[in-house]
């Protein structure tokens, strides 16, 4: 993977994470199912693409793999927080 393409992909993923986070905050503040589903899809897409890009970059020996793995960890933590907040809002536990 070329470094420039890897950086563009990384910043697009950061932008997608920002939009997903805003959607999740909106879905939790105002009970809006559409925003909640968009946030859920956004988080899952961010995690899957970042893991794939991280594995590809690691295979090629690029230093971006560490950034992709770190990004995956941060998005996963926020995703679990969002799921627990949704579970509390829907009174699953």
Which tens digits make up the pLDDT trace of 17-66? 999 999 999 999 988 889 999 999 999 999 999 999 999 999 998 889 99
- DSSP structural state of residue 93: -
Indicate the pLDDT class of residue 1, thresholds 50, 70 and 90: low
Under the banding of pLDDT at 50, 70 and 90, the label for residue 2 is low
Domain range for 27 is 3-89
How far apart are the C-alpha atoms of 6 and 16, rounded to whole Å? 15
* Residue 63 to residues 48, 54, 72, Cα–Cα distance (Å): 19, 10, 15
Spell out where the chain has E strands.
none
pTM of the model: 0.89
Please count the structural domains in the chain: 1
Using an 8 Å Cβ cutoff, are 54 and 63 in contact? no
User: Is the CB of residue 65 less than 8 Å from the CB of residue 4?
Assistant: no
């Amino acid at each position: 993977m070329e470094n420039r393409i890897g950086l563009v992909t990384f910043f697009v993923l950061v932008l997608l994470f920002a939009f997903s986070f805003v959607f999740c905050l909106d879905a939790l503040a105002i009970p809006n199912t559409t925003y909640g589903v968009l946030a859920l899809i956004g988080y899952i897409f961010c995690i899957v693409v970042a893991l794939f890009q991280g594995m590809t970059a690691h295979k090629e020996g690029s230093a971006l793999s560490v950034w992709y793995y770190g990004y995956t960890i941060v998005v996963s933590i926020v995703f679990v927080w969002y799921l627990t907040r949704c579970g509390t809002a829907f009174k699953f536990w």
